[in-house]
Structure 1
Amino acid sequence: MIFRIPTDRINWTTSSFLIGTFVLTLTAVPLYLWYFGIDWFYFAVFGVMLAVTGFSVTLGYHRLFSHMTFRAVLPVRLFTLIFGAGAFENSVLMWASEHRRHHKHVDHDEDPYDISKGFFHAHIGWLLFKLQPQPPFDNVNDLKKDPLIMWQHRHIHIIAVLVSLGLPTLLGALWDGWTGALGGFLIGGVAKVVVLQHGTFLINSACHTIGRQPYSTRCSARDSFLLALFTFGEGYHNYHHEFQHDYRNGVKPWEWDPTKWLIWILSKLRLASGLRRVPAETISSAQTRVRHLRSDGGFQDAQ
């Protein structure tokens, strides 16, 4: 059979955005740097915006709203909703719905980014093509009761554009006029979105393909220190799938998980509370079960 792209299933808006921003990052950003030179200011904007938006996704979208691993005061919730929108990963309502469905049906057909359908599908294909049938929107009734979340959901696109593209463009303009505005838009805006999004996508794809499984072999999720370095600590995915209601992904004190450290700091500042932790005995028991499986020859880590 001749390969044919199912054009009737293409999500044209999402596909155009994902491909367009990726192409701009690979072409327009280098051209800008070559023509106007390297200015530390734009990379500072890139770094700050990447951190603020990234933590808003990992701390807010993921661990606070999707898994309810802790509680946060209103300013923290509002901050993560506003800057999390800047990742262009949709509203927290839709993000959490898809993510909860992923955990419930991991590695099965109902999993939106099911790795068994291939690395490309899990990484980005599920966004480029419409899922059939469209999954129901029935697992976030708790979030629908939150007026802040519903406000963000109604205005997600305008918030995303203003925060993620408008803010760095404005900062660039204040720094160096129209050339600064262009630099802020391309580096602090577009390139930041691409880097952040593909970090998230790698959790859905690479963290279900490469790494270790020290806590569970019940699904494809794996721990990867390397991916944790680039995803604000989200790379300890095997632990997360086994104990999804723990506010920590890197459970060991030395494991790189800046999101858990930030949550802990917020708790000390009385901006977060109710941090949920899995008992050490439960974690140890899970590791023991996996070691027994390995010794019996029933399991092997992917290298």
Structure 2
Amino acid sequence: MSIKKIDGNQFLALEEDEVTKLDEEAKQIPFKTAIVWKNVLMFIGWHIGVSLLMYYSNFGVAAGAHRLWCHRSYKATLPLRIFLMIGNCIAVQNDIIEWVRDHRCHHKWTDTNADPHSTKRGFFFAHMGWLLVKKHPQIKTQGAKLDL
């Protein structure tokens, strides 16, 4: 491999004959691709772990913030409430009190400026955009009137 200088900078560059020589040498070396099982298992484990975390966080939002704290659909023991609270936190959809306020505002003032995820602002906004922008002042004003 040669080092070439262009405008005072060094660049590594192969000569054409070096490429041909390397290719010919490579044909003489017996080589068989071997799977590195440790890496394969590690990647599989990471994907399984992330998938489980995703389901856990979805459960924390759906069963915790939504059904338990927002709609008070059922009562839960302290260990279950802690389990759901952690899952909700992993989902990164704001803290539980803010999530409950926003959802109750959504039900009470649907598709107004007091609705944190109004469909009038588009599908993306209603789905997840509401988490990416500051809330309209009416959400906080109207939300303060709710019993949380």
Offset of residue 43 of structure 1:
1.5
Runs of 4+ residues deviating >3 angstroms? 139-142
Q: Does 1:75 find its partner at 2:52?
A: no
Q: Could you tell me whether the CA contact under 8 Å between 2:67 and 2:73 is conserved in 1?
A: yes
Does 1 or 2 have the higher relative contact order (CA < 8 Å, sep 6+)?
A: 1
The question of 1:88 aligning with 2:88 is answered no
The one of 66, 70, 74 equivalent to 1:66 is 70
Matches within 5 A, 1:1-303: 39-133=43-137, 135-136=139-140, 137-138=143-144, 141-142=147-148
CA deviations over 1:35-60 (Å, ceiling 9, x no partner): x6672111221122122221111100
TM-score normalised to structure 1 length? 0.33
Root-mean-square deviation (CA), in Å?
2.1
Which one has a larger percent strand, Structure 1 or Structure 2? 2
Q: Describe the superposition over 1:279-299 as per-residue Cα deviations: whole angstroms up to 9, x where unpaired.
A: xxxxxxxxxxxxxxxxxxxxx
TM-score by length of structure 2 reads 0.63
Pair 1:65–1:134, CA change in 2 (3 A): same
**CA-CA distance at 1:96 after TM superposition:** 0.5
Structure 1, unpaired ranges of 5+: 1-35, 143-303
How far apart, CA to CA, are the structure 1 residues paired with 2:145 and 2:86?
22
Query: Which structure is larger by alpha-carbon Rg, 1 or 2?
Result: 2
Distance 1:65 1:40, change over 3 A: same
2:144 partner letter: D
| AA in 2 matched with 1:65 | W
CA contact (8 A) 2:113 2:139 kept: no
Question: Would you tell me which structure has more helix in proportion to its own residues?
Answer: 1
Query: Whole-Å Cα distance in 2 between the matches of residues 95 and 44 of structure 1?
Result: 28
Q: Aligned equivalents of 1:51 and 1:131: distance in 2?
A: 27
Structure 2 residue runs without a partner (length 5+) = 1-38
**Cα shift at 1:108:** 2.3
Distance between the aligned counterparts of 1:128 and 1:55, measured in 2? 22
1:72 Cα deviation from its structure 2 partner: 0.7
Q: Is 2:105–2:115's contact at 8 Å kept on the other side of the alignment?
A: yes
SS in 2 for 1:110: coil
Alpha carbons of 1:132 and 1:84: their partners in 2 closer, same or farther (altered >3 Å)?
closer
Tell me the distance in 1 between the aligned counterparts of 2:136 and 2:106: 15
